[in-house]
Every structure is written in structure tokens, then in C-alpha cells.
Structure 1
Amino acid sequence: MVLLLVGGAGLGIGVLFAAIISVDIINRLRLRWSAYRGVLAADLAALREWTSMARAHWRQTTAILDEADRRGSRP
């Protein structure tokens, strides 16, 4: 058994073991990624909504200030 682990066959078994571990890690990360992707999509949607509201607020504020400039009553 020791000769198998030290010899060329041992290298093949080690590579096979590493491949099995790698596939297991990839499958676990794939499950987590699908959950994280849903959360990320919700966060991005909230960020887009916030950006849209911030732009609308900025437009309204600049419109009010421009109107005050035209009247000459800007504080």
C-alpha cells in the first residue's frame, strides 16, 4: 500500500482525490451563488430605485432654485 502511495499510482489517486474535492467545492459554491445572486439582484433593484428617486429629487430642487433665480428671490 505504501508503494502505491509513493509510486506513480499514488499520484493518480491523489489527482483523482483532488478532482473529487474540487467538484464537491464547485457544487457547493454553485448552490450558494444561486442564493447570493437573488440577494444581489434585489440589492441592485433597490439601488436603481434609490438612484431614480435621487435624480428626480435633484431635478425638482434645481427647478425650484432656477425659478427662484428668475424671480430674484433665491435665499
Structure 2
Amino acid sequence: MRHWAGIRIDGFQAGDRTFGGATCYVARLNEHPCHLIRPDRTHYEDVVEFIAVESLRETLHLTDAMDVRVEVEES
């Protein structure tokens, strides 16, 4: 995925805080449309994040460390 273009979100500064950028990829999590987020900076190298219209945790009844199926579109 690092070689795919994805959708770029630039970092920004608000007051004295800085927020790093990220790259988003169109994806599906257990067949639900979403975007996989790869932040430029993170404290956890083994964690990925997803955003979706609905709360995937609630909709899919997910808990931490559950196995899920992830499909990412090459971009």
C-alpha cells in the first residue's frame, strides 16, 4: 500500500498543537464500505484505523482484537 497514491490529508497546526497528515485508502471491512487510514505519525505500528459513515464497532458488534476481513482497493 505504501506505493499506492491513496487520498492525501495534509497535517495542520491549531494554536500550539500540530496534527500529522495521513493517507486514506478505499476499503471494505467485513463487506462494509469504509476508508483505511494510515497516519504519517503514530505510537502504534501494529494498529490500523478505519473511518465510515456508520460506527463499524456498533454496526458489526466489534471488540478489540477481533478478526475481521479487510479489502483495500489499489489506488
Higher strand share: 2
Which of structures 1 and 2 has the larger relative contact order (alpha carbons within 8 angstroms, sep 6+)?
A: 2
Larger radius of gyration: 1
Could you say which TM-score interval applies, normalised by the shorter chain? under 0.3
